[in-house]
Structure formats: C-alpha cells, structure tokens
C-alpha cells in the first residue's frame, strides 16, 4: 500500500510479518517483526505498507489503557530524579522500539490466550497488562511515563490533543489552547511541534480532513456535509486542502467509493 495519510490512537502496534514505514514531517521510521511501534498521543501521519500475497501483513494493536499504565508506573520503583528527567524532556508522539525477548514472549502469550474464548475471559486482561508492562521496560518507556504524568509538558499537550479530537469542528487559536495547557504561547507552540511535528493549526487541519474522509467513506456524507460538519466555512477551501492532503479531490473519492 502506498504512502497514505491516516491517524493512530495511543497504543502499541506489533507486527509479526510484513513491515510499515511511517512519515511525520521530515522524519521517517520503520516498524516490523523486529520493532514494535509506540503511539503515545493521537497523531496524524503518513504510512506505507510492505507485504506480499505469500507473506501478508500480520499484526495486532493494544490500546494504551491509562488506568493500567498509572497502576504499573506506581508499582515500578523509579528514583525522583529519573521521574523528573522523563517529565521535563520533550518526547516524540510516535516512535519504534526494538522487540526485546521479554516483550516478544509477552506478545506471543497474548496471542495464544486469544485462541481460546475461556482463556481470553480468564487471562486476557492480565496478558494485555503484561504487554504494557514490557513496553514500560523498553526503549520508548520515557514517552509512556511522560504521558501518564499529569504534570509534564507532554501530558499537557496530550490533553490538548484529546480536546482537539473531541471538538475539531470548533474554532481554535494558539493562545486559547496554550491557556488550556497552562503554558505560555511560545512554550506551548514549541512543545506541540516537538511532540507532533506539526503546528497546532496544521494538526487541527489534518484531524478535520481525516474526520471528513471518514464521514464520506463510512457514513456516506456528501462533500458539502462533511466540510460543514468538520468546521469548514468554505467548501472550495475544503476541497483544495483535501486534494492537497490526500492526493485526490473529495468528489473523486466519492466516485471511487461508488
């Protein structure tokens, strides 16, 4: 599958076969059977998939369950200095981590558990908890720690991203968003771009365009209806930005669907 815009929610993506290459601004990263992907904030990016009919893409996704992450972090003994370093450092919202033997074993146990309905009921949550724990022991652990910390800049930006996704059709400006994050506009803008590789307004535009495509594809909403529902006042501006982002006009997309 060629390079395509999409949105991933916070979680862990594990591939057993095939590979993907993600593109975020000027940064590219790969994940495959040797590297899993940690997504710590809901983030739009572009992704290409490599597989063959003989070896199709095989993988699974585990949601970042915040109550479980909080519980696990509280159980892990970290020094106060280590916690401060994790909270104060800006982290990327999405990055791969190597499939270490302990993580691989936990992932296999989760898949084996899912082969049985009764084992899924009895042990499923424990297997997911184990996968999240192993991720907290891996290379991208600082990002998950920062996400779970309510006081860090990372977690403040994560809360703003969640607000944007819930209220994408509303009008937003940087000063308003910075105030919600209890940060100065300059510090907010710098942290936002470091984590998402986009400015706040670029991020909002991508969220709106992805949501508009979902409305047209999944709910058969018209082009004008989708533009209005995601917050565009000008249908012509919506069509221009949609074509620039997805490589085809919204009208062409609807014709393809039909």
Residue 98 pLDDT > 80, yes or no? yes
Mean pLDDT over residues 121-128, rounded?
A: 94
- Predicted confidence at residue 41, as pLDDT, reads 86
- pLDDT higher at 142 or 107: 107
Q: Cα(105)–Cα(108) distance, rounded to whole angstroms?
A: 5
Q: How confident is the model at residue 114 (pLDDT cuts 50, 70, 90)?
A: very high
Q: Does domain 203-257 have CATH number 1.10.10.60?
A: yes
Instruction: Give the tens place of pLDDT for each residue, 14-44.
Output: 999 999 999 988 889 999 999 999 998 888 9
Instruction: Give the tens place of pLDDT for each residue, 151-210.
Output: 567 778 888 988 998 999 999 999 999 999 889 999 999 888 888 888 999 999 999 999
Whole-Å CA distances, 58 to 38, 64, 103, 243: 17, 20, 17, 31
pTM listed for this prediction: 0.77
Least confident of 26-30, 86-90, 98-102: 86-90
The answer for residues whose C-beta is within 8 angstroms of residue 13's C-beta and 6 or more apart is 31, 36, 37, 39, 59, 60, 61
Domain with CATH 1.10.10.60 in the chain: 203-257
Mean pLDDT over residues 226-252, rounded?
A: 92
- Predicted confidence at residue 77, as pLDDT, reads 65
Residue whose C-alpha is closest to residue 242's, from 214, 213, 220 = 213
- Predicted confidence at residue 90, as pLDDT, reads 54
Transcribe 79-136 into DSSP letters. Answer: -HHHHHHHHHS---SEEEEE--HHHHHHHHHHHHHTTSHHHHHHHHHHHHHHHHHHHH
- Predicted confidence at residue 33, as pLDDT, reads 95
Least confident of 65-69, 76-80, 120-124, 145-149: 76-80
Look at phi and psi of residue 204 and say left if phi exceeds 0, alpha if psi is from -120 to 50, else beta. Answer: alpha
Q: How confident is the model at residue 240 (pLDDT cuts 50, 70, 90)?
A: very high
Strands 4-8 and 27-31: unpaired
Q: Mean pLDDT of all residues in the chain?
A: 88
- Predicted confidence at residue 66, as pLDDT, reads 82
- Predicted confidence at residue 86, as pLDDT, reads 52
Q: How confident is the model at residue 255 (pLDDT cuts 50, 70, 90)?
A: confident
- pLDDT higher at 104 or 165: 104
- Predicted confidence at residue 204, as pLDDT, reads 94
């Amino acid at each position: 599958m060629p390079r395509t815009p999409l949105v991933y929610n916070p979680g862990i993506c594990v591939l057993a076969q095939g590979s993907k290459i993600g593109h975020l601004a000027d940064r590219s990263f790969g994940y495959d059977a040797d590297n899993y992907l940690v997504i710590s904030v809901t983030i739009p990016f572009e992704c290409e998939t490599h597989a063959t009919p003989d070896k199709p893409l095989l993988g699974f996704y585990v949601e970042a369950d915040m109550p479980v992450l909080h519980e696990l972090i509280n159980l892990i003994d970290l020094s106060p200095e280590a916690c401060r370093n994790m909270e104060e450092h800006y982290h990327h919202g999405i990055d791969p981590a190597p499939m270490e033997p302990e993580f691989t074993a936990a992932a296999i146990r989760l898949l084996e558990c899912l082969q049985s309905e009764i084992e899924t009921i009895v042990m499923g949550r424990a297997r997911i908890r184990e996968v999240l724990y192993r991720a907290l022991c891996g290379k991208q652990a600082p990002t998950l720690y920062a996400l779970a910390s309510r006081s860090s800049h990372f977690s403040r930006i994560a809360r703003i991203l969640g607000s944007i996704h819930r209220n994408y059709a509303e009008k937003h400006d940087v000063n308003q968003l910075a105030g919600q994050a209890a940060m100065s506009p300059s510090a907010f803008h710098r942290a936002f771009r470091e984590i998402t590789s986009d400015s706040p307004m670029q991020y909002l535009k991508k969220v709106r365009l992805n949501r508009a495509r979902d409305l047209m594809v999944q709910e058969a909403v018209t082009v004008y209806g989708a533009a209005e529902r995601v917050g565009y006042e000008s249908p012509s501006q919506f069509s221009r930005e949609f074509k620039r982002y997805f490589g085809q006009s919204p009208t062409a997309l609807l014709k393809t669907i039909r």
